[in-house]
């Protein structure tokens, strides 16, 4: 095309030599655009082909599990030692190769449990491995992902197959490489080349991760999965949330919701001692509380910065804040609180503000809302352990031991929420009984060591003494 135009119009490689500079310049620009378009089309075609091939090879990134293991509850039937050595991957305290959940749930739980011990020796023949799917596989993308455009591309899947907002395609491969490397070292010493593997997924979204290559290397009977989010199809629609449905997981998968964080309990103990002269074992649900109902979320979208607070997937939270604000306006005698206390956003993930604990202790009823697309977060457990009666939107994956009407209250609509608040404010004895039971369940079944023992042994092994000589389960540490 360019040669034909140059011949007919007697153009040189530069438009400045033509007798009609303006026309030549326009034509030259058109040729340059055409060249750029061809290059972009070629590069785009290569990218799409590579992306398609990568997806075809990614057999573990399925939305439904492929494991055929039926019958019976989750129960690892593998000979284990006591205390059981556990190797965490990826985990490096010195270089901060970890995320919040692996610290709060896995690392803390292993250190606290008398039945577990952390090992840094990946070739320990008695050790089991825990792989953290929430960290270590998107290092290359994450620094640039803070840009909103790249955030969109990551979620769209353009930068790789994804399940919760970041590229997780390489994770199984990276973990398998770590396993293969250890196998080569073990082979030199004549050590067994297969050992128990636990893949822990504490991420938000409900896509089911599976690693067939690791199952093949270790044997399916030695590979187990812990899954936090087990509800699909949850979505906000008009005035409330459609609750979706629970995923039908095989017996090799254990529901592993979040926990009562140890730093939360430590902060609670400090506030109780300093301001109330109480202990964790005191009947703190009976403390005088000036706030009738609280929801720790702003009523108006005042925070827009990605680094400050992400309000996406929070339509229900916004709705509930508005409902409680309206309720306080309609009934002047009801003292309501809607907003934040202490740190929020990313800051709130790495520490516990005493102002937040103080606000929880001052509320008779705390309303907790899940996000629009998934269930389970720390706010539920924080409200339970501070002695408030907790109302939550319906959870299909309500953590074990929590029973609607006994230890927590579920609501299903605006009118239901309003009626529950009004009822329990006028029935304090019932409210206190539910708050007391909810606090007990949270402290006795949902600490970090409980979660790790469930994952590795299939049961909780650290129980309170039956002689009531201790404050257990109302303690900061397991021992």
Structure confidence at residue 147 (pLDDT): 45
Instruction: Count Cβ neighbours within 10 Å for each residue of 258-296 and write b for 16 or more, e otherwise.
Output: bbbbbebbebbbebbeeeeebebebebbebebebbbbbb
Residue 110 domain-assigned (yes or no)? yes
Query: Is 398's pLDDT higher than 70?
Result: yes
Residue 319 domain-assigned (yes or no)? yes
Query: Is 470's pLDDT higher than 60?
Result: yes
Instruction: Please say whether the beta carbons of 446 and 260 come within 8 A.
Output: yes
Residues 420 and 437 in one domain: yes
CATH number at residue 274: 3.40.50.2000
Structure confidence at residue 167 (pLDDT): 40
The tens digit of pLDDT for each residue in 18-51 reads: 455 565 666 566 666 667 666 666 665 665 555 4
Q: Which residue has the higher pLDDT, 167 or 267?
A: 267
Least confident of 203-207, 322-326, 408-412: 203-207
Structure confidence at residue 426 (pLDDT): 98
DSSP per-residue string spanning 248-267: ---TTEEE----B-HHHHHH
Residue 472 domain-assigned (yes or no)? no
The tens digit of pLDDT for each residue in 59-78 reads: 333 333 333 344 567 878 77
Q: Provide mean pLDDT across the span 160-164.
A: 38
DSSP 78: -
Separation between Cα atoms, residue 309 and residue 248, nearest integer Å: 33
Q: Which residue has the higher pLDDT, 383 or 93?
A: 383
Residues 296 and 169 in one domain: no
Q: What values do phi and psi take at 164, rounded to 5? A: -145, 20
Separation between Cα atoms, residue 90 and residue 106, nearest integer Å: 12
What tokens appear for 209 in the block? 């991760």
The tens digit of pLDDT for each residue in 220-236 reads: 999 999 999 899 888 88
**Most confident of the ranges 143-147, 307-311, 380-384:** 380-384
Separation between Cα atoms, residue 27 and residue 15, nearest integer Å: 8
Separation between Cα atoms, residue 184 and residue 180, nearest integer Å: 6
Question: What's the chain's average pLDDT?
Answer: 81
Which of 255, 289, 305 lies at the terminal end of a domain, its last residue? 255
- Percent of the chain topping pLDDT 90: 54
Structure confidence at residue 159 (pLDDT): 46
Residues 432 and 417 in one domain: yes
Instruction: Please say whether the beta carbons of 407 and 437 come within 8 A.
Output: yes
Q: Which residue has the higher pLDDT, 42 or 327?
A: 327
Look at the chain and report how many structural domains it folds into.
3
Residues 20 and 153 in one domain: no
Strand 291-295 and strand 253-255: the pairing is unpaired
Q: Which residue has the higher pLDDT, 204 or 88?
A: 88
Structure confidence at residue 374 (pLDDT): 82
* H runs (alpha helix) in 296-413: 315-330, 346-350, 354-361, 378-385
Domain that holds residue 19: 1-25
C-alpha distances in Å from residue 413, one per residue of 207, 312, 365, 390: 27, 21, 17, 16
């Amino acid at each position: 095309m360019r040669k034909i135009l140059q011949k007919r119009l007697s153009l040189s490689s530069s438009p400045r030599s033509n007798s009609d500079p303006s026309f030549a310049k326009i034509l030259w620009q058109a040729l340059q655009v055409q060249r750029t378009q061809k290059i972009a089309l070629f590069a785009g075609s290569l990218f799409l082909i590579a992306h398609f091939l990568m997806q075809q090879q990614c057999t573990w990134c399925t939305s439904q599990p492929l494991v055929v293991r039926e019958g019976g509850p989750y129960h690892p039937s593998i000979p284990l030692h006591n205390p059981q050595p556990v190797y965490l991957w990826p985990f490096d305290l010195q270089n901060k190769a970890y995320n919040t959940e692996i610290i709060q749930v896995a690392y803390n739980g292993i250190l606290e449990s008398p039945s577990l011990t952390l090992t840094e020796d990946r070739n320990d023949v008695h050790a089991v491995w825990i792989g953290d799917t929430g960290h270590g596989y998107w290092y290359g993308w994450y620094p640039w992902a803070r840009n909103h455009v790249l955030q969109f591309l990551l979620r769209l899947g353009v930068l790789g197959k994804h399940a919760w907002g970041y590229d997780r395609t390489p994770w199984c491969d990276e973990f398998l490489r770590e396993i293969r490397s250890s196998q080569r070292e073990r082979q030199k010493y004549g050590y067994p080349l297969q050992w128990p593997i636990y893949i822990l997924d504490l991420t938000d979204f409900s896509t089911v991760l599976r690693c067939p290559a690791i199952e093949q290397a270790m044997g399916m009977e030695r590979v187990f999965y812990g899954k936090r989010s087990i509800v699909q199809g949850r979505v906000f629609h008009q005035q409330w949330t459609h609750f979706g449905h629970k995923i039908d997981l095989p017996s090799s998968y254990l529901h592993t919701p979040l926990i009562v964080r140890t730093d939360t309990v430590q902060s609670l103990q400090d506030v109780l001692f300093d301001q109330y002269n109480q202990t964790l074992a005191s009947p703190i649900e009976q403390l005088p509380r000036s706030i009738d109902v609280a929801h720790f979320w702003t009523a108006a979208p005042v925070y827009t910065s990605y680094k400050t607070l992400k309000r996406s997937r929070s339509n229900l939270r916004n709705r509930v804040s508005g409902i409680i604000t309206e309720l306080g306006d309609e009934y002047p005698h009801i003292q309501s609180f809607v907003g934040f206390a202490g740190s929020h956003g990313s800051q709130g993930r790495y520490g516990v503000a005493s102002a937040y604990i103080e606000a929880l202790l001052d509320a008779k009823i705390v309303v907790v809302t899940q996000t629009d697309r998934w269930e389970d977060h720390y706010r539920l457990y924080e409200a339970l352990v501070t002695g408030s009666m907790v109302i939550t939107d319906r959870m299909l994956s309500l953590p074990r031991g929590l029973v609607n009407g006994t230890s927590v209250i579920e609501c299903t609509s605006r009118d239901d929420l309003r009626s529950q608040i009004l009822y329990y404010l006028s029935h304090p004895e019932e409210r206190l009984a539910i708050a007391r039971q909810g606090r007990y369940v949270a402290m006795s079944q949902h600490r970090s060591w409980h979660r790790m023992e469930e994952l590795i042994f299939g049961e909780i092994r650290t129980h309170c003494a039956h002689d009531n000589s201790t404050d257990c389960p109302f303690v900061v540490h397991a021992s």
